[in-house]
Amino acid sequence: MQRDWIAPPAPGLALRLDGLRKQFGARAVLDDIDIDVAPGEFIAIVGRSGCGKSTLLRLLAGLDVPTAGDLQLGGKPATAHRDDVRMMFQEARLLPWRTVLQNVQLGLAAGDARDRARDALAQVGLADRASDWPAVLSGGQRQRVALARALVHRPRLLLLDEPLGALDALTRIEMQRLIESVWRELRFTAVLVTHDVAEAVALADRVLLVEDGRITLDEPVMLARPRKHGAAAFAQLEGRVLERVLGEAPPDVAQVAPTRLAA
C-alpha cells in the first residue's frame, strides 16, 4: 500500500510556554507555566483532577485563550499553526450521523480525502469498519477512529486529553501501544494529559506534574522503548512519580490515615 502521505511534510513542532497564566474570574487555574518541548518529543502531564492539566491542553489547542504569557509553536505564535495541531478528546466525539470513514474525512479538503481517510483507518486497524456507524463500535474502536481522524491531518502536534480514561485495562494497553507506534513512525510532538501515572511513564519522554496550577515536577523517563509495565526500572519510576503526586496530599487526608491505623 502506498503510504507516502504518512511521512509528515515537516517534523514535530517545538513548543514553548513562557509565563503562561489562565484565569477564570478571579481564580488562577494556571500560573506562571514555563515549558519547553523539543520537536518530536512525547510529554505527559499528570496531576490530580482539577489541577489545571486539561486547561493547559485546551490552551495549547487554541480552545481557550491564555490570560497572560506567551505560547509559541515552532517559534511562531500558536495561532499560526492551527492546522498543524490536532486534539483527541476524552470522549471520541465522533459524529453519530456520519460513517466511520466520513468521520475520519471530517475537515479534509476534497480530492484524495477518501483515500487518505482509508489509509488512516488502516493504520489504526479499522479498515474493515469504514462503512459502519459509530454507534455500533466499542469504546476502544471509537477512540481508534478518533486517532485516525487526528492522524489524517498529518498533525505536527498531537494533543491527547485523557483519551484512554474510559477504556478497560486491556484495551487501554493496546491503545497505548498503538499511539506509541504511530508516534514513533510519524515523529509528531505529543502532549498527553492523564491521571494514570503508569500510562505517562509507559509513553512519555518526560513526565510533568501540575499541582495547583504550577509545574512542580519535570521528570525525564530514560527507559528503552517499547516499555514493559512490569519491569523493575519502570515500576520504580512509576512509584517515584506516584509518590510525588500523592506526596502533597491535603492535610485532611493525612490526618485520616493514622486514625484508621489506630482503629
Partner 1 sequence: MHPTSRSWRAIAPWIVPLAILLAWEASSRSGWLSVRILPEPLAVGSAFWHLLVSGSLLHDVAISTGRALGGLAIGGGLGLVLGLLSGTFRTAETLLDTTLQMIRNIPALALIPLVILWFGIDESAKLFLVAIGVFFPIYLNTYHGIRAVDAGLVEMARSYGLKGWPLYREVILPGALPSILVGLRFALGLMWVLLIVAETISAQAGIGYMTMNAREFLQTDVVLVGVLLYAVLGKLADLVARALERRFLRWNPAYLGAPA
Residue from 116, 144, 153, 154 binding partner 1 (CB under 8 A)? 153
Decide: is 93 part of the binding site for partner 1 (CB under 8 A): yes
Decide: is 133 part of the binding site for partner 1 (CB under 8 A): yes
CB of 178 to partner 1, least distance (A): 20
Decide: is 91 part of the binding site for partner 1 (CB under 8 A): yes
- Long-range (24+ apart) CB contacts under 8 A made by 175-180 are 175/140, 175/143, 175/144, 175/147, 176/202, 176/203, 177/226, 178/124, 178/125, 178/144, 178/147, 179/147, 179/203, 180/225, 180/226
| Options 9-17, 19-27, 81-89, 238-246: segment touching partner 1 (CB under 8 A) | 81-89
- Coil, strand or helix: which one is 188? coil
For residues 220 and 222, what is the distance between their CA atoms, to the nearest angstrom? 6
Decide: is 83 part of the binding site for partner 1 (CB under 8 A): yes
Decide: is 110 part of the binding site for partner 1 (CB under 8 A): no
Decide: is 254 part of the binding site for partner 1 (CB under 8 A): no
Decide: is 63 part of the binding site for partner 1 (CB under 8 A): yes
Decide: is 239 part of the binding site for partner 1 (CB under 8 A): no
| Options 14-22, 56-64, 176-184, 206-214: segment touching partner 1 (CB under 8 A) | 56-64
Cell numbers linked to 77? 505564535
Decide: is 64 part of the binding site for partner 1 (CB under 8 A): no
For residues 129 and 155, what is the distance between their CA atoms, to the nearest angstrom? 23
Residue from 24, 65, 97, 243 binding partner 1 (CB under 8 A)? 97
The CB density around residue 178, as the number of other CB atoms within 10 Å, is 17
Q: What residue has cell string 504569557? A: 69
Distances (CA, A) of 56 to 64, 206, 253: 9, 16, 27
- Coil, strand or helix: which one is 193? strand
Using CB under 8 A as the criterion, which residues of the chain lie in contact with partner 1 when the complex forms?
61-63, 82-83, 86-87, 89, 91, 93, 95-99, 106-107, 131-136, 149, 153
